[in-house]
Amino acid sequence: MTLYSLAASPEYMEPLREEIRQAMADNGGAITTRALQQMVKLDSYMKETGRFYSGIANFQRKVLRGFTLSNGQYIPPGVIIEAPSHAIYMDEANFPPDSQPAEVFDGFRYYKLRQSGSASDHARNQFVTTNERDLSFGYGKHSCPGRFFAANEIKMILARLLLDYDIKNEDGSTARYAQIESGGFTSPDPSKNLLFRRVKV
């Protein structure tokens, strides 16, 4: 999904490249774990792409054993419960009033939120963070344990692609290709192609 977004918003490529180059320069010219942690704009771009073009419209689970919520409501076994993740991602109440509206794609949204200075803002706005307003990796004690590994892999791949290639839509447009929707899930249209041109150094 991130590559489709980059093709549609080329204005982000150079700031991301600069950040990647600087992080590598600070770490002996290599993409190290520390360098990946320094790529906060790339982290933000990945998180915003996941929010804006989420792969799921809702987050579903089947209750295997009944349980009681903190408010006393009993949830019986066999019931399907779900959280409307898309609605959560587009809820203005989840963003400060001075940020871009939720229905506007802002690749550096989470970078700006992390820069506010507080440790909690820094922690809450990372790609791997799970909380009540970001269900990309689940939530609570059942959050995806592999999300840290996945985030590092995605960053390494994107860093290499951004350093080596310009990415464009095949038809030259800067409109993002529409997602395909099926049963509460969305994905990039596999019939749409991207063009990769090696960057001249």
Residues annotated in a binding site for heme: 144
Phi, psi of 60 (to 5 degrees): -110, 150
Structure tokens at 201: 């150094």
Polymer length of the chain:
201
Closest listed residue to residue 201, CA positions, set 165, 168, 157, 169: 165
What letter represents residue 38's amino acid?
Answer: Q
Alpha carbon distance 42, 67 (integer Å): 40
Which residues are CB-neighbours of 131 under 8 A, at least 6 positions away? 124, 139
Check if the beta carbon of residue 74 is closer than 8 Å to that of residue 51. Answer: no
Positions at the binding site: 144
Structure tokens at 34: 């520390």
How far lies 24's CA from each of 30, 184, 185, in Å? 5, 39, 36
What letter represents residue 129's amino acid?
Answer: T
